[in-house]
Structure 1
Amino acid sequence: MNLLVCERCGERTDHPRVEADAVIRCDHCGHRWPFRRLALRCVTGPSGTGKSAVTRHLVDSLADRFVVLEQDVLWQAGLRDDDGDHRAFRSAWLRMAAMIHQNGRPVVLVGTVVPQEFEPLPERPLFERIDYLCLTCDPAVLAERLRARPAWRQWDEPRIAEMLEYAEWIRDDAALFEPPMTLLDTTRAPVDETVRAVREWVLNRRP
């Protein structure tokens, strides 16, 4: 079931019209049909804060209730927008998550994103809400983690400085975002401790 295509007339839209009772209405023929409007959980944070390490463990520990996905698997040339806002990439992920939700399994999406990049998108109404947990790290430790990465990832000093600035912005303003992001410091925490904390956060979100 493609939520962007009317099940009656077959017309397609990039701006789904969602009504309050979890019903989609077709702008072309007026047909209305129900869908599963679940909450999306995002585990986010600057590069180097531990998202990938956490994801590997979350897949196993949450497999009975959630589908855990890492955003980077769709980081393909066709989805990298020239203007830098990566809108097509973000929209593709929201469409994918909404489709998975129709199977009754909520999605935990792991990757660098802030509410300002998801909330304005036309696919956002397909979700009851989006919750954000942001991993953070001490700037000096974060810089060392990025310098230690393989050369193919291209973390030179200017790019590291840019990521540190981004991380500082998140630490300072996360509570002011709409919706606000919950912060989790991974500076000194072992991976298993961070995994437990993230798992608890995921399981304790309002259904």
Structure 2
Amino acid sequence: MRVGLTGGVASGKSTVAAILAELGAVVVDADQLAREVVARGTPGLARVVEDFGPAVLTPEGDLDRAHVGSIVFNDEAARRRLEAIVHPLVFERYAEIEAAAEADGETDRVVVHDIPLLTETGRAGEFDAVVVVDAADDVRVERMVRDRGWTREDAAARIAAQATREERLAVATHVVVNEGGREALRARVVEVFGDLTGDQREPTP
């Protein structure tokens, strides 16, 4: 069972991914893979430097993620150029991880692909199910201001740079609303996991 997990910034997607892992799912983190494919010495990093110039590197030769972020979040064309480099490399790594899981005899497990920009990349149809973690925009803004120290303007800009809630919900087979407490969130994730596995009992890892 291949499951795509997505949600807007500050929706609580990472928390849901952690709960799914506790329940026994194999979770593949797109953000982690995105860092791996542009690590120092990789072809991915070389392509980013070729496109954006050597100014995107730190003195040590790593990708200056803060600098790149300041570029792409103010320039949609630049963001799309970066995504065109990184996203295909990330999906190649997904395939490698799935192949390794299959080789280890884990074909009966739920493999969850934690992908923040699943909707934006148009790959929702590649999964057996898509779980969308949802919360109202104003709730997410409050979380970013409170938990990350962002300004409301920065928070609103980050939301605007992603797919809308309506666009994400349109590709969902399961929706996890995260506007309450951790207990309610976990109960809903357990329910969704039961739907995915066909077992309504809480699984043991």
Q: How does 1:104-183 map to 2 (within 5 A)?
A: 104=106, 105-115=109-119, 117=121, 119=123, 129-150=127-148, 155=150, 159-165=154-160, 169-174=163-168, 176-177=170-171, 180-183=172-175
- Following superposition, the deviation at residue 181 of structure 1 comes to 4.7
In 1, are the aligned partners of 2:4 and 2:118 still within 8 Å (CA)?
A: no
The normalised TM-score by structure 2 is: 0.59
The normalised TM-score by structure 1 is: 0.59
1:101 corresponds in structure 2 to 102
CA deviations on 1:139-183 (whole Å, 9 max, x unpaired) are 1110121123446xxx5555422332256x432233544xx4533
1:48 partnered with 2:48:
no
Unaligned runs of 5+ in 2: 49-80, 199-205
Structure 2: how far apart are the matches of 1:175 and 1:112? 14
Q: Percent identity?
A: 16
- How many residue pairs align between the two structures? 153
Between structures 1 and 2, the one with greater strand share: 1
- Following superposition, the deviation at residue 136 of structure 1 comes to 1.3
Distance 1:96 1:194, change over 3 A: same
Q: Secondary structure at the match of 1:47?
A: coil
Q: Which letter does structure 2 place at the counterpart of 1:106?
A: V
- Following superposition, the deviation at residue 53 of structure 1 comes to 2.2
1:68 corresponds in structure 2 to 27
Between structures 1 and 2, the one with greater helix share: 2
Distance 1:117 1:161, change over 3 A: same
1:186 partnered with 2:178:
yes
In 1, are the aligned partners of 2:17 and 2:27 still within 8 Å (CA)?
A: yes
Q: Secondary structure at the match of 1:183?
A: strand
Structure 1: how far apart are the matches of 2:6 and 2:169? 14
Q: Tell me: higher relative CO, structure 1 or 2? Use CA pairs within 8 A at least 6 residues apart.
A: 2
